[in-house]
Amino acid sequence: MKQIEDLLGKALPPRSFDSRKGQNGIVAVIGGSRIYHGAPTLAGLAAYRTGVDLVYLFVPEPISVPVRAMSPSLIVYPLPDYKITLGCANKILSWMPKVDACVIGPGAGKQRPEGLKKLAIELSLSKVKLVIDADALQPEIVTDLPGKDVILTPHPGEFKRISGIELTDSLEERKETVKKVAKSLGVTILVKGHADIISDGERIAVDGAGSPAMTVGGVGDVLSGILAALLSKGIEPFTSAVLGAYINGKCGELAAEKFGMRILPTDLIGEIPNILKKHDKISRNE
């Protein structure tokens, strides 16, 4: 644990005393659907609590009002369709301000991959760092991405969907499989589970932080927001994935200490500052 805390302290950049809005990270979240308005909202709020300056949410217009009502901090762009069609993708690309990192997929629901694939490719070509999550974890989307600043966040079922490989119960076999697939795709993969497995195809790590209470829906969306925030601060993908898994897990532990096995994903978001504030640093220009 001390090793991870030391890494966290070294990786988090200091905040300049005279920094301006936008210089400490800007994140976009693309997702949501008729049923799932909470997923992109949780990701956006988690990114804020991890210390970014601005969060933009691109969600279907019918859920934009309840999303706005959940927090005045979120900047919401209403999309004209419940699905991320090619037309929606083109609108997002034309509307999106300059961002450092983007989460694609939380709460998007089952849909055709063309729109999401266009977004992933075009944003990657524009040097936007990506977290690809949930319903965007489709083989058509994650294969042959032009940039390597990408984190995929599958659970074992989604990992099978993108790789065609079912993970075994053996931790060592799981590690080798994740490493192999990460290398073949040229990305960082964080497989969520009781022990999160992270690999960029060369390095590999296992994170055991967390609580059984974290089976509640929305915990993965919180993780994706944390990851995007870390990427937006210039932390490379593998380190962001290792630190993001740790932060999310420790937040789950703190929430479970307070509420037992009855936590909400918002409880994790509330604990993020308690994990990170000890590492706050302010730099002054002399």
Would you say residue 15 lies in a domain?
no
Domain that holds residue 43: 2-9+24-271
Average pLDDT, the chain: 96
Q: What is the pTM of this model?
A: 0.97
Query: What local confidence, expressed as pLDDT, does residue 144 receive?
Result: 86
Would you say residue 282 lies in a domain?
no
CA dihedral (211, 213, 219, 220) positive or negative: positive
CATH of the domain at 50: 3.40.1190.20
Residue 214 CA to residue 8 CA, distance in Å, equals 22
DSSP state of 235: -
* Average pLDDT of the segment spanning 226-248: 98
The tally of domains found in the chain comes to: 1
Would you say residue 113 lies in a domain?
yes
Query: What local confidence, expressed as pLDDT, does residue 53 receive?
Result: 98
Nearest to 242 by CA among 207, 272, 284: 207
Would you say residue 187 lies in a domain?
yes
Lookup: tokens for 255: 């929430």
Would you say residue 207 lies in a domain?
yes
**pLDDT tens, 31-81?**
999 999 999 999 999 999 999 999 999 999 999 999 999 999 999 999 998
Judge whether residue 207 has pLDDT over 60: yes
Instruction: Count Cα atoms within 13 angstroms, Cβ side, for 124.
Output: 23
User: How many helices and strands in the chain, by DSSP H and E?
Assistant: 11, 11
Would you say residue 40 lies in a domain?
yes
Residue 233 CA to residue 71 CA, distance in Å, equals 23
Would you say residue 256 lies in a domain?
yes
Query: What local confidence, expressed as pLDDT, does residue 71 receive?
Result: 96
Nearest to 223 by CA among 56, 88, 50: 50
The gap from C-alpha 55 to its chain's centroid, in whole angstroms, comes to 13
Q: Are 135 and 43 in contact (CB under 8 A)?
A: no
Helices 219-232 and 265-276 cross at an angle (nearest 10°) of 30
pLDDT tier for residue 286 given thresholds of 50, 70 and 90 = low
Judge whether residue 162 has pLDDT over 90: yes
Would you say residue 184 lies in a domain?
yes
**Pairing of β 129-132 and β 101-104:** parallel
